[in-house]
Structure 1
Amino acid sequence: MIEKIIQENINKSFLIAYSGGLDSTVLLYKLLKIKKKKNIQIRAIHINHNLNPLSIKWTKHCQKICIINQIPLIIKNIQIKNIISNIEEKLRIQRYNIFYKNLLHNEILLTGHHVNDQCETFILSLKRGSGPTGLSCMSVKTSLGRKTIIRPFLNVTKKELELWAKKNQLTWIEDISNFQINYDRNFIRTKIIPVFEQRWPYFINNCLRTIKICQKETKLLNYFLRKKIFYFIKFNDCLNIQKFKNMKEDMCTALIRYWLSFKKIKIPSYKSIQYIYKQMVFSRQDANPKIILKNYEIRRYQSSLYFVKTQPNIQNKLLFWHNPKKTLKLPNYLGYLKLSLYGGNQLPAPKNNELINIRFQYEGKILILGRDQKRQIKKIWQEKKIPPWLRNQIPLLFYNNLFIAAIGVFVINLDITDRNYWTVSWESHLELSHDNIFNFY
């Protein structure tokens, strides 16, 4: 399997997730054997979880092996404090975010996950009540944000890896914490699987077969969803749910799940997808429902679902632009305001004694250019099709307390004759959808 992976990715470099344990040690030495025949680039990364008194010794072991074999090694530390529950998941999240940040542009992450790991993951998924997608467990090749992760041992048992390691006289770390059954995975590994194997010797192989069946079923489902989803995704990446009330619930939830699979996040659970469906599709037409997924939100606006990054509340923030000759940096990565000779908004210029300030909230009626009557600003936002979560992200220009413009959206009709004009440009980073930066939460 490793030789095939190398051949298929001959122009790539490889980063090995190297814990020093059996599986990652075999992975490292198998790559070293291939490196003698083929010109491939190998690096390794070791993450110290700082949970075991021997962890520093393990780090030194990995350093020694990499020095002997002339493999560049990255060492990173995780410090998790005051965590009582779900520590395994939190450590996994930290690990994968570290992997992602340290992967080079043309580099593939290789891990030593094997059949036994798959079986443990399968049982954990059963415990959570997962469907076919969750029971598909790990794939040999998957995306890690914009990068790739490959698990070449997913068809190899731990016993086979141990036989190869002993045959080649390798040394590796034995982590005694693997026998602490307060961790779910360790409990499955030491208490459940041995009992199943004793009763049914082919349990692990049958478990692997079920995983492959779930993977094929999920792949087939995604094939049909891929064809259907583009009838519902709009130009700005939102999901049109206008017809969902007339469709079967299973199809709607499948489309929601598939739409979220494009977002480079961990797919929400079955229960969460059901909640999204019921809260978004069947809420009142004038409602503004919001569902939070860690650092992101799913919002509904005008019969569409939007996936947006949660932003800090800045509606009470006040910025003074004391020197308009210099660019003004906006909060929340919204970009900059600057004077422009070409593109931008042509606006009434401030007088010498007026303080130029930027705000992000306004309530009340306004009269904008091109209109003959005042309207509530909420109605103006609706006319301009600005979703509610973006309205407090748009810079509002004031001179003292005089409202001048919502930059890039509308200008206030001031009916003035004693002012000059200037052009203000907003170099905006504002997006309707999320920012595509990977975060393995």
Structure 2
Amino acid sequence: MACALHLLCPGRVRVAHINHQLQAPATQWANWLAAQCQQWQIPCTVQAVAVAPGNIEAQARKARYQALFHLLQNDEILVLGHHQQDQAETIFLRLMSGSGVKGLSAMQVLEHRKTKWLWRPLLDCSRQQITELAALICPDYIDDPANQQANFDRVFLRQQVWPLLKTRWPAMDSTLNRTALLMQDSHEILQEVLAQDWLQCGDQNALDIQQVKLLGQPRQRLLLSRWMQGAEQYAPAFHLVEQVRQTLLDARQDATPRIEWQGWQFRRYQHQVYRLPQQLEKAQDMQIFWPPEQILELPTGQWQWQPQKSGFASQLMTQPLVLQARRGGEVMHVQGRAGHWPLKKCLQEAKIPPWQREQVHLLYAGAQLLGVFTAQGFWCNQMQDLVQDGWLPCLVSSTLNFKKATQQHEI
């Protein structure tokens, strides 16, 4: 295919070969390809990758695409040689894994991934057509021996399943390709529905349970699956989506169920279900010097001293201060309340989620409690002496606890 493209677009094609280093002659094959490209006067880049342990087919594919995307420049299109039988095999394998409409959409001729474009111009061509063309252009082409190892799922299909099925349905490759096109149409329609539901029910961090429950179960599953996936490459398994739907959406308001997947945790609080990093920062005791120009990063967010009509004297910012995690039993005089109140009760009544209560810091100057850092802002201890035109800690950004969760992703 590289040679054919070079003939059509001379000077605008280059070859990238990924050496998975999984077979003894892999380096020899890379050298052969480099020599062949030199003969054709096509630039060639060979990139070796390390394939992670596990499912060797899946891990090799993941390593291959990561390397290809890294090599791909902004003004280039990645052209892949997938053909009609590749597409049919993909549909069959995804059917066996229980995939939905998106999975059965299989591969697209033109595909946009983030800022990169993929083009598969041979999806309508049969394997036999490509083999015949390869034999004409390059009679000594190399056929990967792995294509004959039946322990790989695709090879098992080609050797054992495909010949049997084609005796009954000779045109099955083209028929399955048509199924992929119909599934791609269906997926596009579902994406339009999903965009409407997403806008109605929340954002990438949290969903409104009452709004989600207004949807039928199929739309609930579609929304939850995409919401849980976030920027991950693959959607969560069906049973996990159902677990979130049944356990979190229908839990008692005072219950605190937690479901984990792929480094994320899904939790319910009040009338919302949250998508959070599995590991959240917690408050830690520390002593600090905090000048007015410095940004202080805490689990609750980014903080900075700012002038206020009423606040602490400026001398406070020149002395050592102590940040302390909650011990339990703390009481303080919060603005708007008469007398002293347990901090725990104040946090509950402010409807601060349990995981954010673990991020709360108490600010001390010596033995004096100055106030509390919360995700909603700084709560000043009204028992302290405040001065006119003083200084108070202000929350500059409250996104730290959602740093990973707020990565942008397309619906």
Q: What range is the shorter-chain TM-score in? A: 0.7 to 0.9
Structure 1 pair 167/43, CA: closer, same or farther in 2 (3 Å)?
A: closer
Q: Find 2:257's aligned residue among 286, 289, 301.
A: 289
Moved more, 165-174 or 177-186: 165-174
Q: Find 1:412's aligned residue among 380, 399, 405.
A: 380
Aligned to 1:16: none
TM-score (norm 2): 0.80
Q: Which structure has the bigger radius of gyration?
A: 2
Aligned to 1:430: 400
Q: Is the contact between residue 337 and residue 424 of structure 1 (CA under 8 Å) also seen in structure 2?
A: yes
Aligned to 1:205: 174
Question: What are the superposed Cα offsets for residues 233-288 of structure 1, whole Å, 9 maximum, x if unpaired?
Answer: 35x75322214445532232233235456645422232322222111211121223
Structure 1 pair 265/377, CA: closer, same or farther in 2 (3 Å)?
A: farther
Measured after TM superposition, the shift of residue 430 of structure 1 is 2.0
Q: Does 1:150 align with 2:150?
A: no
Aligned to 2:335: 369
Q: Find 1:131's aligned residue among 100, 106, 128.
A: 100
Measured after TM superposition, the shift of residue 413 of structure 1 is 0.9
Gaps of 5+ in 1: 1-25
Following the alignment from structure 1 to structure 2, what is the Cα–Cα distance between the partners of residues 239 and 165? Answer: 53
Gaps of 5+ in 2: none
Following the alignment from structure 2 to structure 1, what is the Cα–Cα distance between the partners of residues 145 and 6? Answer: 27
Q: Does 1:77 align with 2:49?
A: yes
Q: Is the contact between residue 315 and residue 359 of structure 1 (CA under 8 Å) also seen in structure 2?
A: no
Structure 1 pair 430/99, CA: closer, same or farther in 2 (3 Å)?
A: farther
Superposition map of 1:232-251 within 5 A: 232-233=201-202, 238-245=206-213, 247-251=215-219
Measured after TM superposition, the shift of residue 307 of structure 1 is 2.7
Aligned to 1:6: none
Measured after TM superposition, the shift of residue 291 of structure 1 is 2.3
Following the alignment from structure 2 to structure 1, what is the Cα–Cα distance between the partners of residues 55 and 364? Answer: 49
Structure 1 pair 328/353, CA: closer, same or farther in 2 (3 Å)?
A: closer
Q: Is the contact between residue 139 and residue 151 of structure 1 (CA under 8 Å) also seen in structure 2?
A: yes
Instruction: Give the partner amino acid of 2:235.
Output: I
Following the alignment from structure 1 to structure 2, what is the Cα–Cα distance between the partners of residues 265 and 387? Answer: 29
Following the alignment from structure 2 to structure 1, what is the Cα–Cα distance between the partners of residues 302 and 82? Answer: 46
Describe the SS at the equivalent of 2:9: helix
Q: Is the contact between residue 349 and residue 419 of structure 1 (CA under 8 Å) also seen in structure 2?
A: no
Aligned to 1:163: 132
Q: Find 1:118's aligned residue among 69, 87, 110.
A: 87
Superposition map of 1:194-273 within 5 A: 194-233=163-202, 238-245=206-213, 247-260=215-228, 263=231, 265-273=233-241
Structure 1 pair 304/102, CA: closer, same or farther in 2 (3 Å)?
A: farther
Q: Find 2:78's aligned residue among 97, 109, 134.
A: 109
Q: Greater relative contact order (Cα 8 A, min sep 6): structure 1 or 2?
A: 1
Following the alignment from structure 2 to structure 1, what is the Cα–Cα distance between the partners of residues 379 and 19? Answer: 56
Following the alignment from structure 1 to structure 2, what is the Cα–Cα distance between the partners of residues 273 and 350? Answer: 54
Measured after TM superposition, the shift of residue 431 of structure 1 is 5.8
Structure 1 pair 244/226, CA: closer, same or farther in 2 (3 Å)?
A: closer
List 4+ stretches of structure 1 deviating above 6 A.
none
Measured after TM superposition, the shift of residue 423 of structure 1 is 4.9
Structure 1 pair 338/63, CA: closer, same or farther in 2 (3 Å)?
A: farther
Superposition map of 1:288-437 within 5 A: 288-311=256-279, 313-315=280-282, 317-322=284-289, 324=291, 327=294, 330=297, 347=312, 355-359=320-324, 361=326, 363-367=328-332, 368-393=334-359, 397-399=363-365, 403=369, 404-406=371-373, 409-413=377-381, 415-417=383-385, 422-424=391-393, 428=397, 429-430=399-400, 432=402, 434-436=405-407
Measured after TM superposition, the shift of residue 162 of structure 1 is 1.7
Following the alignment from structure 2 to structure 1, what is the Cα–Cα distance between the partners of residues 302 and 215? Answer: 44
RMSD of equivalent CA atoms: 3.8
Describe the SS at the equivalent of 1:230: helix
Measured after TM superposition, the shift of residue 379 of structure 1 is 4.3
**Percent of aligned pairs with the same residue?**
25
Following the alignment from structure 1 to structure 2, what is the Cα–Cα distance between the partners of residues 374 and 114? Answer: 73
Instruction: Give the partner amino acid of 1:406.
Output: F
Structure 1 pair 96/396, CA: closer, same or farther in 2 (3 Å)?
A: farther
Q: Find 1:141's aligned residue among 110, 122, 130.
A: 110
Moved more, 398-407 or 275-284: 398-407
Instruction: Give the partner amino acid of 1:132.
Output: V
